[in-house]
Amino acid sequence: MATPIIECIDLHKSFADHEVLKGINLKILTNEVVVIIGPSGSGKSTLLRCMNLLNEPTAGKVLFEGYDTSAKDIDINAVRSRMNMVFQNFNLFMHLTALENITLALQKVKKVPKKEAIVLATEALNRVGLTDKENAFPGQLSGGQQQRVAIARCVAMQPDAILFDEPTSALDPELIGEVLDVIKHLAETTGMTMVVVTHEMGFAREVADRVVVMDDGLIIEEGPPNEIFVNPKNERTRIFLRRVLKEIDDMDPLKPKYEGVTLEPEAPSVTFGEPQMMKDENPPSDQGPSGTLGRWFGFRGGRKKK
Ligand SMILES: Nc1ncnc2c1ncn2[C@@H]1O[C@H](COP(=O)(O)OP(=O)(O)OP(=O)(O)O)[C@@H](O)[C@H]1O
Ligand SMILES: [Mg+2]
């Protein structure tokens, strides 16, 4: 088996006495697209943040390209530039143009000379279909375009892996598709390793090589999308998917049901615990599945990668 590019070994993370990750073991292989799904508060963002060194694990470790990221002499910026992250809320500098947002990251983090940074930034904007928006400020762009700039900033760094934390959940429904299209296109054309946390089940089904299901701080099931969505083995996965599908149905009875899902229509009603903030640092998203799924649009974007 190929060496994993990212490996979590018995990863635990607690905030005060609240254990959020309870022993995660996960290997992400080079060129793999792994989609992480699961109820709100199950620890998906915390897992990504531990991978990217934004949260320090309480126990266990994360290996990146075989190196222990908790090692004292690790260069955190170097790790982050090679395992770059796209956030829900874009995190763009509002006083800089689209191009400058990208060149700044290249110059500051990767020490790329300005001229070269401009070339790389222009190429990256081309890739996400924003060639004509180089000189626009974020405030002059739609949410979808801002997220595409954030993705271009990530891509321009030429990372080995990109982590996406609900990249479309802050967007209006009509803008979700364009961002998912860009991510899918990148997956297909660059073969870049991607870990995507999302509530967009259509996207997960279509683009993922592997779907990982989290619940209550643990991975409860993982496998190819066809297995997870058509014939999930874990009862909690079935309950989660039923609830997701029910919310989509409730939202709009005319919307087609998720293709290929064969779960029985009568879903038991289950409530998952609300996320609780224990500490005020980096509060997690307040948009659980219902917030995001309320705006779900079936992702119907052409060919599957492989
Ligand atoms: N910085 C923090 N301080 C205290 N508690 C936190 C912090 N970050 C996350 N948590 C808690 O950890 C749990 C998991 O949060 P996390 O954001 O990882 O869940 P999630 O699966 O990403 O949820 P969602 O789908 O709503 O984004 C929640 O109970 C949350 O309140
Ligand atoms: Mg989250």
Residue 165 Cα to ligand 1 middle (Å): 12
pLDDT at 35 (0 to 100): 98
pLDDT at 251 (0 to 100): 60
Q: Please spell the DSSP secondary structure of 93-162, one letter per residue.
A: -TTS-HHHHHHHHHHHHS---HHHHHHHHHHHHHHTT-GGGTT--GGGS-HHHHHHHHHHHHHHT--SEE
Residue 114 Cα to ligand 2 middle (Å): 35
The number of the ligand 1 atom at minimal distance from the alpha carbon of 292 is 25
The number of the ligand 1 atom at minimal distance from the alpha carbon of 197 is 22
pTM reported for the whole predicted model: 0.84
Cα dihedral: 185, 190, 195, 198 (round 10): 0
pLDDT at 223 (0 to 100): 97
pLDDT digits (tens), the chain, 306 positions: 667 999 999 999 999 999 999 999 999 999 999 999 999 999 999 999 999 999 999 999 999 999 999 888 888 888 888 999 999 999 999 999 999 999 998 999 889 999 999 999 999 999 999 999 999 999 999 999 999 999 999 999 999 999 999 999 999 988 999 999 999 999 999 889 999 999 999 999 999 999 999 999 999 999 999 999 999 999 999 999 998 877 766 665 455 443 444 443 333 332 222 222 223 334 333 333 333 332 233 444 333 444
CA gap 191, 209 in Å, rounded: 12
Residue 126, ligand 1, Cβ within 6 A: no
pLDDT at 19 (0 to 100): 98
Can you tell me whether residue 40 is helix, strand or coil?
coil
Residue 127 Cα to ligand 2 middle (Å): 27
* The two three-digit tokens of residue 221, written as one number: 């099931």
* The two three-digit tokens of residue 123, written as one number: 């190429």
CA gap 83, 193 in Å, rounded: 9
Residue 293 Cα to ligand 1 middle (Å): 18
pLDDT at 265 (0 to 100): 39
Residue 217, ligand 1, Cβ within 6 A: no
pLDDT at 288 (0 to 100): 33
CA gap 147, 141 in Å, rounded: 9
